[in-house]
Amino acid sequence: MSNTTRIKNVKVRTVLVPLNNPHKTASGVITTSPLVLTDILFDNGITGHSITFTYNKIALKPTAQLIADFGQLIYDDILAPFNTFEKLSGRFRLLGTQGLVGMAISAIDMALWDGFARCQNSSLTSVLGGLEKPIQAYGAIGYDGPKESAIVAENWVRKGLTGVKAKIGYPTVREDVQVIREIRKAVGDNISIMVDYNQSLITTEAIQRSHILDSEGLTWIEEPVLAHDFSGHAMIAREIKTPIQCGENWWGILDMQQAIDKEASDFMMLDIMKIGGVTGWIKAASLASLKGIPISTHLWSEISSQLLCVTPTAHWLEYSDWWNPILKEPL
């Protein structure tokens, strides 16, 4: 049976979703999520949906405009996400598919896959040939100091999560350690603790701090230096015992391949919007499986949990409730 469903319309809406608790990081405070909501309508009456997160309000309208304009490029095309991904990537070969262009391609790709699953009245995991299964998840803790970090950690554990990840990068490593120890005291030894520097250090300092953190039993240390400093991360990864986690800021599988080539990160974290949507994720998961690199997720808990079920080296789901106010059925 051949697929004859066709794309009839791409609609976008922009929203600013306020966060219940402003999320502090070593690189600034996030108070709202600027989101583009994409709906792709098909000729069978079904609609596929996706969420694009622009981080900065200023990028909201240009991103929405790009996605809407992409709609004209795919009008009346057959619903075939792989084909559309290749077609759109091809159209932007000269400009490149990083940044807003890449985000717009992912927005279309995610909505097409969502629609593809809905047309079969099935989950994304199922249409990709996988089985839904339990996945370990952690909750995020902001740059909140020792006391507040411990309280947030306890709340996550009470909700049933088996890991917590704290933002660190305080003025001194002593303060970083203090935060980790307060969390450990609050959650006990059976809960995994990860930490995230959010790109706030330089390589030498990252090595010095990480040597000290090595005795804290951490599951990983995330993005100690600039996300695209692959050799810096590789140097840190070689020097320290705790695994390094990177990936949420890589644009597409080309960045991921460079990180793999340079051995920049022991673990890898995929951001579905930056890696190229569902299509990009599937390619990334294949690359990771060849090297046995554990794959975790970044935001987008709903769609990422579906994809972890078809990721051979699935590791941790980052549970996030930031966008629950606009979801009909949050995870």
Nearer to Mg ion, 109 or 196 (CB): 196
Cα 46 from Cα 70, distance rounded (Å): 19
Nearer to Mg ion, 144 or 222 (CB): 222
Nearer to Mg ion, 113 or 197 (CB): 197
Residue 29 in tokens? 């405070």
Shortest distance in whole angstroms from residue 92 CB to Mg ion: 27
Residue 308 in tokens? 């972890």
Nearer to Mg ion, 64 or 256 (CB): 256
Decide: helix, strand or coil at residue 241.
coil
The residues carrying an active-site annotation are 167, 298
Which of these segments, 42-50, 132-140, 190-198, 205-213, binds Mg ion (CB under 5 A)?
Answer: 190-198
Cα 60 from Cα 65, distance rounded (Å): 9
Contact criterion met (CB below 8 Å) for 72 and 145: no
Shortest distance in whole angstroms from residue 258 CB to Mg ion: 19
Shortest distance in whole angstroms from residue 223 CB to Mg ion: 6
Task: Mention every residue, 6+ apart, whose C-beta is less than 8 A from residue 111.
Answer: 10, 38, 39, 40, 48, 49, 50
Binders of Mg ion in range 200-259 (CB under 5 A): 222
Cα 324 from Cα 331, distance rounded (Å): 8
Q: How many residues bind Mg ion (CB under 5 A)?
A: 2
Shortest distance in whole angstroms from residue 224 CB to Mg ion: 11
Q: Is 196 in the site for Mg ion (CB under 5 A)?
A: yes
Decide: helix, strand or coil at residue 225.
coil
Binders of Mg ion in range 273-292 (CB under 5 A): none
Nearer to Mg ion, 220 or 281 (CB): 220
Helix spans in the chain (H)? 60-73, 81-91, 99-119, 124-127, 145-158, 173-187, 203-213, 230-239, 252-261, 272-275, 277-291, 301-308
Which of these segments, 53-61, 193-201, 257-265, 275-283, binds Mg ion (CB under 5 A)?
Answer: 193-201
Q: Please spell the DSSP secondary structure of 193-222, one letter per residue.
A: EEEE-TT-S-HHHHHHHHHHHGGG--SEEE
Shortest distance in whole angstroms from residue 238 CB to Mg ion: 21
Cα 246 from Cα 268, distance rounded (Å): 5
* Residue nearest Mg ion, CB atom distance: 196
Shortest distance in whole angstroms from residue 155 CB to Mg ion: 20
Nearer to Mg ion, 39 or 321 (CB): 321
Cα 116 from Cα 44, distance rounded (Å): 11
Contacts with Mg ion, residue ranges (CB under 5 A) = 196, 222
